[in-house]
Chain A
Amino acid sequence: MLNVVAKRLLGEVSWGLKMRVAMGAGLSILDMATDIFVIMGYVGKEKTKGYGWSLLGMIVASMVIQLLMVFAQNKGKPWVIAKEALIVLTAMKPAVDASRVVSGHEMEEHHAWDAKTELVFTKGIEMVCESIPGCLLQLYVLLKVRNVSRATVGSVLVSAMTTGFNSATISFE
């Protein structure tokens, strides 16, 4: 109880927390949008088609593992699972998790782990499955195919910023 009160008080006094949540949400959506844009660009060309599918595979793997985590966290609550799955599929999970941590969201009876642990798991999954290999792959394609388009460079930069944000959040919150 005291922990929750302390977290809520911290949440009220610091505008920085709110800014971080908003930034997390914005970066997550932007990252997803640029990744989809790059995948479409890759798949559209014979020379880069395989890389496009690989990038898509990384996003799907990240989402599938996050969905499994949502299932484990809310086992026996189908409506909650459905709601949480929608959050994962719309790429809003990192932002929602951050918001729950800063608002002192309490662990519910059916939950397997607390909000902070969920945030660390989500960000870890996203970084290992998608951000790091995705960034590497895009840079590799950029050098290998000499396909230096603004979209690819933009996508790499957004991926790096999103990963940086996730990494900082794990240590900061």
Chain B
Amino acid sequence: MDPQKRRATPDFYGYIPDGGSRTVIFGCMMLNSALLLLIRGLSAAMLMVVNKRYFVGYMAGDMALYLLQKVLRGDFHYWLPVDGAFGLFMSLMVRVIVKILTDFTGVIQFRGDAELGGLFWTANMFLAVVASFVCVWISDGGRTAWMLVGGASGAWVMTFALFLLLMKKEYRRTFWSTRTGKQWTMNFFLKGGEDGVRKSTMGHNKKQWREIRGDVKEWALENWWRWEEERPAWFTEAWIAKVPPDMIPEEAEAEAKGFRESARRRSSPAMVAREESSMRVHPIS
């Protein structure tokens, strides 16, 4: 929907075709989420009635596996440029919240590389439905429970299949993408083409793009005076304040230092969000 985001990440945004099918697609997405919540909610409630510890154990184990694979793939840190212990805490919170939201509602946006990732999202969805049947089996819910969960699961599969059928087919691969969040961040620079997209990498958590730091530095130093002369829309005080000092030519560093101090004085979580909202492409999105 957002032209800026479509330009920055054309292989992720723009999957909904123009025309009359838009409303049908929206309806499919809505029903799909509502059905998943009912399936998951009912099976979880049945498990809790048997023993609340089963439910807590299942949720905790599932979450631990998710976080473990993020750590093992070097993709635990969230893209927001927040460092230190608070950055670590924020990454953990966002990862947990996004996982819970996806588990119970299957928000399609969260298949993005910066969130769960395409293949994990798809596997997570199918495992969530399978786990619901296991819950019904454990709780011995009887014929009504099997029919309710079975019927809702069937409807869920149908709405998801219809969604896949109606969306632009070239975007279907986003559902089995194995790219990580840090690859997504680095791709702005590596595949972005225009400077206005390439610069987005520098606005993300530096832990996500340390592998290409040398190339980014070289690019910034090479182009700095051209940007000073042309003053592109994104070459703002806020952006300059975020550029590491060693990536700015010595003659321009004094001015940048002033911007950094000014930004630090105004610094707050809101400020971070404000600076990032202009370049963010996968919301918490």
Which A residues are within 8 Å of any B CB, using their own CB?
2-3, 6-7, 10, 14, 16, 19-20, 72-73, 75, 107, 111-114, 116-117, 120-121, 124, 127-128, 131-132, 135-136, 139-140, 142-144, 156, 159-161, 163-168, 170-173
Contact = CB atoms under 8 A, between A and B. Distances in A.
A135 B254 CA distance: 56
Interface in B59-112: 97, 100-101, 104-109
Contacts of B44: 136, 139
Interface of B: 1-4, 16, 22-23, 25-26, 29-35, 37-38, 41-42, 44-46, 48-49, 97, 100-101, 104-109, 269-271, 273-274, 277-278, 280, 283-285
Contact of A113 (B33, B106, B270): B270
Contacts of A3: 2-4
Given A120-B285, A128-B97, 8 more contacts: A2-B3, A3-B2, A6-B3, A7-B1, A72-B269, A73-B270, A113-B270, A135-B38
A164 B104 contact: no
B38 A160 contact: yes
A128 B3 CA distance: 29
B37 A163 contact: yes
A117 B33 contact: no
A166 B105 CA distance: 9
B274 A111 contact: yes
Contacts of A166: 33, 105
B49 A140 contact: yes
Contacts of A135: 37-38, 41
A2 to B, nearest CB: 7
A115 to B, nearest CB: 10
A2 B3 CA distance: 9
A5 to B, nearest CB: 9
Give the 3 A-B residue pairs with the shortest CB-CB distance, closest first.
A164-B34, A112-B270, A167-B33
B46 A143 contact: yes
A164 B270 contact: no
Contacts of A173: 1
Nearest to B112: A171
B105 A164 contact: yes
30 contacts: A3-B2, A3-B3, A3-B4, A113-B270, A113-B273, A113-B277, A116-B2, A116-B283, A124-B97, A124-B285, A127-B101, A131-B37, A132-B104, A135-B41, A139-B42, A140-B45, A140-B48, A143-B49, A160-B35, A164-B30, A166-B33, A167-B107, A168-B26, A168-B29, A168-B33, A168-B108, A172-B1, A172-B16, A172-B26, A172-B29
